[in-house]
Amino acid sequence: MKIKMKPITRRQFFKTVAGSVVSFAALLASAPRAFAEKFFHEPPWLTKSPYWGMAIAVDNCIGCGKCVEACKTENDVPRQPYFFRTWVERYMIHRSGETKVESPNGGMDGFPPIKKSGDMMRSFFVPKMCNHCENSPCEQVCPVGASFRTQDGVVLIDRKYCIGCRYCIQACPYGCRYFHPKLHVADKCTLCYHRITRGLKPACVEACPNGARIFGDLSNPESPVSKFIENNTVQVLKPAMGTRPKLVYRGLDREVR
């Protein structure tokens, strides 16, 4: 295959090169600001109200599992130990460097009490649930639009539209989704959307006896969750994933995944 070339004059050539250099330079000069604007994610709750958020105080969790039980009751979650919208993990950190983690039946029946023994250094409970990410991969991969985020910030599943491909379950880095064994669609925490849109709190927040779970409207600076974020050092799970979780933690240990 021969490529035909049109002859051009030296003058035309230099004009073209100069023009390209100038436009490229202009592009580069504008790039830093364009970049900065592109990569700054303005919090949606500055313009959208209400915008629901959630926080967990790890150092308040006593591992009673009432939240897990309440969630299953409120949301008719299958009772077997393979399906959870929320669960509690127990971490036991030893001086030897070994960290043991467990979540028997998701923590729904509580945890057997343990004494400080051997080389055990620290032990604590970490409640987990859907992080309602601002850049949620579960929403990104859904092929039909059954996984979506509402205008008030909650990531939901349309049960009547989900085709049950399970891609979203694969895409969630936090393991918070499961496949409903009876409905044959994907399922997960809805932040008790049917409750919070009626002025109630999510069932897990309602059930928690020690204030480990905090819920509220991020667009209201006086709400419990906004105050929590203002007054505490907060972390999120797996920040490097870029999911921008809306669930924040206080007291997340380095061992927690």
Partner 1 sequence: MKDIQHILRMAGVFVVVISGFLLVRHLLVPASFGLYGHYRAAAIDDIKALPISFVGQKECAKCHGPRVQEKNKGGHRNLGCETCHGALAAHAAAPAKSRPVRVAEKDMRAFCERCHAASFSRPAKFPQINPDAHNPGAACNSCHNPHSPRL
Partner 2 sequence: MDPLMNELAEALNKVVGFIYPNEVELQWSILIVLYPYITGLVAGAFILASLERVFNVEAVRPTYRLSLLTALSFLIIAPLPLNVHLGQPQRAYEIFMTPHFSSAMAMFGFVYAWYLSAVLLLEVWFDYRKEIVMWSQTEKVWHKRIFYKVLTLGVTNISPASLKIDDKIGRAITVVGLPSAVLLHGYVGFIFGSVKANPWWSTPLMPVIFLFSAMASGIAAVMLLYMFLTWARGKAIDMLCIDTIGKFLLTAVIISFTLEMLETIQKAYEAQEHFDILALLMEGKLYLSMIVVQGIMGALIPMFLLGLVQLVKLPDNVRKTFYSAASVLILIGIFAMRWNVVIGGQFFSKSLMGFTTYKMALAGREGLFSAVVIAVLPFIILSVLLYLLPPWKDEGRSGKGGVA
Residue 207 contacts partner 1 per CB under 8 A: yes
The separation between the first and the last C-alpha atoms of the chain, rounded to the nearest angstrom, is: 57
- Least distance in angstroms from the C-beta of 165 to partner 2: 6
**Residues 217 to 246 in contact with partner 2, rule: CB under 8 A:** 241-242
- Binding mask 2-41 vs partner 2 (x if CB under 8 A, - otherwise)? ----------------------------------------
> Hey, what are 60's tokens?
């308040």
| Nearest CA-CA partner of 166 in 145, 187, 150, 191 | 187
Residue 215 contacts partner 2 per CB under 8 A: no
Residue 182 contacts partner 1 per CB under 8 A: no
142 and 135 in contact (C-beta within 8 Å)? no
**Residues 93 to 112 in contact with partner 2, rule: CB under 8 A:** 100-103, 105-106
- Cα 227 to chain centroid distance, Å, stands at 20
Residue 137 binding result from partner 1, partner 2, none, given CB thresholds of 5 to 8 Å by partner type: partner 2
Between CA 176 and CA 216 the distance in angstroms is 21
Residue 203 contacts partner 1 per CB under 8 A: yes
3-state SS record for 209-251:
CCCCEEEEECCCCCCHHHHHHHHCCCECCCHHHCCCCCEEEEC
Which residues 6+ apart lie within 8 Å of 73 measured at CB?
203
- Cα 32 to chain centroid distance, Å, stands at 29
- Cα 21 to chain centroid distance, Å, stands at 44
| Nearest CA-CA partner of 186 in 160, 164, 154 | 164
**Residues 66 to 85 in contact with partner 2, rule: CB under 8 A:** 80-84
Between CA 115 and CA 107 the distance in angstroms is 18
Residue 248 contacts partner 1 per CB under 8 A: no
Residue 6 binding result from partner 1, partner 2, none, given CB thresholds of 5 to 8 Å by partner type: none
Nearer to partner 1, 22 or 101 (CB): 101
Q: Which amino acid is at 147?
A: S
Residue 49 contacts partner 1 per CB under 8 A: no
Residue 178 contacts partner 2 per CB under 8 A: yes
> Hey, what are 34's tokens?
């364009």
- Binding mask 94-133 vs partner 1 (x if CB under 8 A, - otherwise)? ----------------xx-xxxx---x--xxx--------
- Cα 14 to chain centroid distance, Å, stands at 54
Nearer to partner 1, 60 or 232 (CB): 60
Residue 95 binding result from partner 2, partner 1, none, given CB thresholds of 5 to 8 Å by partner type: none
* Site residues, partner 1 (CB under 8 A): 59-66, 70, 73-75, 90, 92, 110-111, 113-116, 120, 123-125, 145-151, 156, 158-161, 190, 193-195, 197-198, 200-201, 203, 206-211
* Site residues, partner 2 (CB under 8 A): 80-84, 87, 89, 100-103, 105-106, 128, 137, 140-145, 161-167, 169-179, 181, 184-186, 241-242, 257
